[in-house]
Amino acid sequence: MSAERKPSPDDILREEFNRWAEAGRGEEMERHHLDITEKTIRLMELRPGERVLDLGCGAGWATRLLARLVSDGPEGFGQVVGLDVSDEMIRRARAASRDFDNIMYVWGSAQQIPWEENFFDKVLSVESFYYYPDQERALAELFRVMAPHGRLFILINLYKDNPYSLRWVDELQVPVHALSEAEYVEMLKRNAFQQVEARRIPDDTPTPDNYSGKWFKNAQELREFKRIGALLLMATKPDVRVAAPGYQIY
Ligand SMILES: C[S@@+](CC[C@H](N)C(=O)[O-])C[C@H]1O[C@@H](n2cnc3c(N)ncnc32)[C@H](O)[C@@H]1O
């Protein structure tokens, strides 16, 4: 008699986001996240030749924006790795990126990033971090795979200081872990990151008066949510080629 394995937190995320992917929500998110993502990408100051990780890349629209900015330059062949826990998102991202020779999409988890140490010059993660079952572990993994002086950009719309975003917590079909700006800053510092900064990125897209979506009560509330903006966390890996203190191999 074979005992059924209990699904892990990553299995649960995979199943849910595979459903999102099949419903076309991976591509749809471009419309919702483009404004705040473009503002973040400008702050990343990407240069041709850099190696970038798009963590929780979904259908890969942001991965492609990044790939255009880092492709060949005097410092070498710039490449982007898109990583996602949903294999269906990865399939769709690959299918939509066939024209790119500097993107690789990988199915895997932020909890155990399947990549070598000291590699990425920049990391972007859009609207993904609060799903990670163990955010401290994800930061330790990022520290490991980032190059010395590498810079991390975590962009999240769901965090404690934007009260309108917290209403999603009960609506989403998977557990989410919403922290405040101060708690995230503290967590990044605790995980040995330096030059830790937080900023708000407002969404300047127009809101139609006849808003009728399910996430907000009315257009006014959506406007307020966008005005408060997303939380952008930025941090740098110091000049070391070792894992963060306390790092454990899974
Ligand atoms: C709200 S979507 C955002 C996707 C994309 N960044 C965008 O803005 O369109 C969250 C993404 O994070 C991914 N994700 C959730 N938990 C993850 C984990 N533990 N490791 C890697 N990816 C994860 C999901 O599969 C999903 O594609």
Task: Give tens-digit pLDDT for 68-90.
Answer: 999 987 667 899 999 999 999 99
In a domain? residue 245: no
CB of 29 sitting under 6 A from ligand 1:
yes
199-211 per-position pLDDT tens digit: 999 999 999 888 8
Q: What is the domain range of residue 32?
A: 9-236
User: Could you tell me the two tokens for 63?
Assistant: 């991965």
In a domain? residue 77: yes
Q: How far is the CA of 128 from the centre of ligand 1 (A)?
A: 4
Q: The pTM is what? A: 0.96
C-beta separation of 234 from 197 below 8 A:
yes
CB of 82 sitting under 6 A from ligand 1:
no
In a domain? residue 249: no
Say which CATH number the domain at 39 has: 3.40.50.150
29-38 per-position pLDDT tens digit: 999 999 999 9
106-127 per-position pLDDT tens digit: 999 999 999 999 999 999 999 9
Q: How far is the CA of 57 from the centre of ligand 1 (A)?
A: 6
Q: How many domains does the chain have?
A: 1
In a domain? residue 127: yes
- DSSP 8-state code for residue 76: B
In a domain? residue 186: yes
In a domain? residue 98: yes
In a domain? residue 2: no
Residue 249, classified by CB atoms within 10 Å of its CB into exposed (0-12), middle (13-18) or buried (19+), is exposed
Q: In ligand 1, which atom is closest to the CA atom of 14? A: 25
151-187 per-position pLDDT tens digit: 999 999 999 999 999 988 888 999 999 999 999 999 9
